[in-house]
Chain A
Amino acid sequence: AQTVTQSQPEMSVQEAETVTLSCTYDTSENNYYLFWYKQPPSRQMILVIRQEAYKQQNATENRFSVNFQKAAKSFSLKISDSQLGDTAMYFCAFLPRDYTGANSKLTFGKGITLSVRP
């Protein structure tokens, strides 16, 4: 079974600054996917970024990038030029690559609440 840990319950950042959200995970799988999801006050779950574990290159999506350290089982999210609309809860999630198996569910961390200050 996989576990995902987000140890920081809350963070705050000034608008236009950069913030990094931490995530660690534990698994015996070698091939898997990692995700960051955003949940704004509307409660909609929105996929922010996706990383394939067999790719060494860190994923980037506009202002969002990750620092994926497979050996350390660490997967942090960096948000550059923070905007007020980035205020949300952020969830780190793990998915085995064998998505057809009984263990194929997406496992979430407990989330971190990010507040962007004007």
Chain B
Amino acid sequence: DSGVTQTPKHLITATGQRVTLRCSPRSGDLSVYWYQQSLDQGLQFLIQYYNGEERAKGNILERFSAQQFPDLHSELNLSSLELGDSALYFCASSVQGYGYTFGSGTRLTVV
């Protein structure tokens, strides 16, 4: 157990739908990062939150949004889903450059 908790582990949904992925960082970690891993794009950075505030944005689509709550858990919302959004979504947390600790990921399948 890495200490970073992601739910759900698997999600199957239809095109056009909206889903919410949840992440709880390791105890004491203030930063949460979201990554998307697809077969052809590798690991793509989506967005970072630090202590409730958005810190950095990557290749995140406008249909996607995220937030970090006062208890530091984060949610990634994906809407108007398309087949190409099928991927593994990782959440990670970190402390001071010691590398990121990743959750086990949410595998999203859009049918």
Chain A interfacial positions (CB closer than 8 Å to B): 33, 35, 42-47, 50, 91, 95, 97, 99-100, 102-111
Contact = CB atoms under 8 A, between A and B. Distances in A.
B86 interface: no
B105 A47 contact: no
B58 A105 contact: yes
Main secondary structure of the interface of B (DSSP, over half): strand
A43 B107 CA distance: 10
Given A33-B99, A45-B90, A104-B48, 17 more contacts: A33-B97, A42-B104, A43-B107, A44-B102, A45-B100, A45-B102, A46-B102, A47-B101, A91-B43, A100-B55, A104-B56, A105-B33, A105-B45, A105-B58, A106-B92, A108-B43, A110-B42
Given A33-B97, A50-B98, A111-B42, A102 B55 contact: yes
Contacts, number: 57
B27 interface: no
Interface string B1-31: 0100000000000000000000000000001
Interface residues of B, number: 25
Contacts of A100: 50, 55
Interface string B79-111: 000000000101010101111111011010000
A99 B101 CA distance: 15
Contacts of B90: 45
A110 B44 CA distance: 10
Contact of B104 (A43, A50, A111): A43
B41 to A, nearest CB: 9
Given A102-B56, A104-B55, A105-B56, A47 B43 contact: no
